[in-house]
Amino acid sequence: MDIITTTDALSAYCERAATFPYVTVDTEFLRERTYYAKLCLIQLAHPGKGDEGAVIVDPLAPGLSLAPLYRLFRNREVVKVFHAARQDLEIFVVDQDMVPAPLFDTQVAAMVCGYGEQVGYETLARKIARVSVDKSSRFTDWSRRPLSEAQLRYALADVTHLRVIYESMAERLARTGRASWLDEEMAILADPATYLTDPADAWERVKTRSHAPRHMAAVRELARFREEYAQSHDVPRARVFKDDALLELASTRPVTEAELAKSRLLQREGRRGDVQEGILAALRRAAALGPEDLPPHEDEHPPLQVNPALAELLRVLLKARSTTEDVAPRLIASASDLDAIAAGERDVPALSGWRREVFGADALMLCEGKVGLAVRGQHVVTVPL
């Protein structure tokens, strides 16, 4: 097993890998105690049999520079293949503000190739590579050294079998003419902005029952402070304070340290002096906002007037089309897409590009009453009206 611990060895491997059409990539990292993932291992494999062409890079090795790897990542002649790439890619965006290109995610491709939604690597390895992946080392502390032979074998398997999976999917996509179907999904993954959380938007992930503007202003400012603090101190946002404490503070809105001390849900980290100051400052900002600067009440954005019967018919049509085309339904249209179409909206991804050809054109005719749905044997089909 080849373990790379020096920049020269990494450079030599990346130069060799650059002569091949693709390289498979995976990482092992920790982020339980940090905001940003701590990179612990990088696994790479270019075409070959077994362990041939596969290496493990130890980014924790003293003096090792990842510059040769980033040069390979920027080489557009070599496809970079990942499975469920989002968390891996976030590491490289944070470190270098770049996404490896061109990019291929086998989990996304699996939706086009008929393997279902969010299919796991183990499933693809079993169905395509005909191997069983040992996941006994899944919960390893990858920052500890030395790693055992079993742990290293586990890590390497994530890129060796991925070669067979990629080659099978690439051939199938080329044969069916569906390679372009991945473009939209890959464009999202290839955008560095996908992996960066703007503190100003952090409040949008907080689930709250009350949507009163003044309450939501407090939620927004508290979430902004928490995200900024977590990022600058590299700690998980829940370590600063959890969502339940945030919502309690947004409801009680303490204005002094004495009032803040009465919080039932604020844990030890949230009672640090600098965190307390940040909380009170955030609540002061929210309280100082004029009516025009408050988040709009949810009633100011009335819900879509969805025709429920039409929405159900669209779901039946989507299921039928996804079955016929052997494509995961979610890749064609989301539940919110269907509701939007049933409400009369037309600026919906499912109504453009290849999705229109597969589903959108018939969906529009269904909405306009030009076609209906009928059952023929085991299939649902459209019939002219």
Q: What is the per-residue pLDDT across 300-327, written as a single tens digit (0 to 9) for each?
A: 556 678 889 999 999 999 999 999 999 9
Of 81, 86, 93, residue with least CA distance to 188:
86
**According to the model, what pLDDT value does residue 139 have?**
83
> Residue 286 — very low, low, confident or very high, per pLDDT cuts 50/70/90?
very high
Residue 31, classed as helix, strand or coil, is coil
No. of helices (H) and no. of strands (E), the chain? 17, 8
Rounded Cα distance, 270 and 246, in Å: 10
Write the single-letter amino acid at 364. L
Mean pLDDT for 14-23 is 98
Distance of CA 7 to the CA centre of its chain: 30
Q: What is the pLDDT of residues 37-75, one digit of tens each?
A: 999 999 999 999 889 999 999 999 999 999 999 999 999
CATH topology of domain 308-384: DNA polymerase; domain 1 (1.10.150)
CB 306 within 8 Å of CB 292:
no
Rounded Cα distance, 91 and 42, in Å: 11
Mean pLDDT for 29-38 is 95
CB 106 within 8 Å of CB 134:
no
> Residue 299 — very low, low, confident or very high, per pLDDT cuts 50/70/90?
low
CATH topology of domain 199-300: DNA polymerase; domain 1 (1.10.150)
Residues contacting 295, CB < 8 A, separation 6+: 213, 216, 217, 220
**According to the model, what pLDDT value does residue 303 have?**
66
Q: How is the chain split into domains, by residue range? A: 2-195, 199-300, 308-384
- With the CA atoms of 249, 254, 260 and 264 taken in that order, what torsion angle do they form, in degrees rounded to the nearest 10? -40
Task: Write down the mean pLDDT value for the chain.
Answer: 94
> In this predicted structure, which of 16-20, 285-289, 304-308 has the lowest mean pLDDT?
304-308
CB atoms within 10 A of CB 120: 16
- As its CATH architecture, domain 2-195 has 2-Layer Sandwich (3.30)
Q: Do domains 2-195 and 308-384 have the same CATH topology?
A: no
User: Per-residue pLDDT for 101 more than 90?
Assistant: yes
| pTM over the 0.95 mark | no
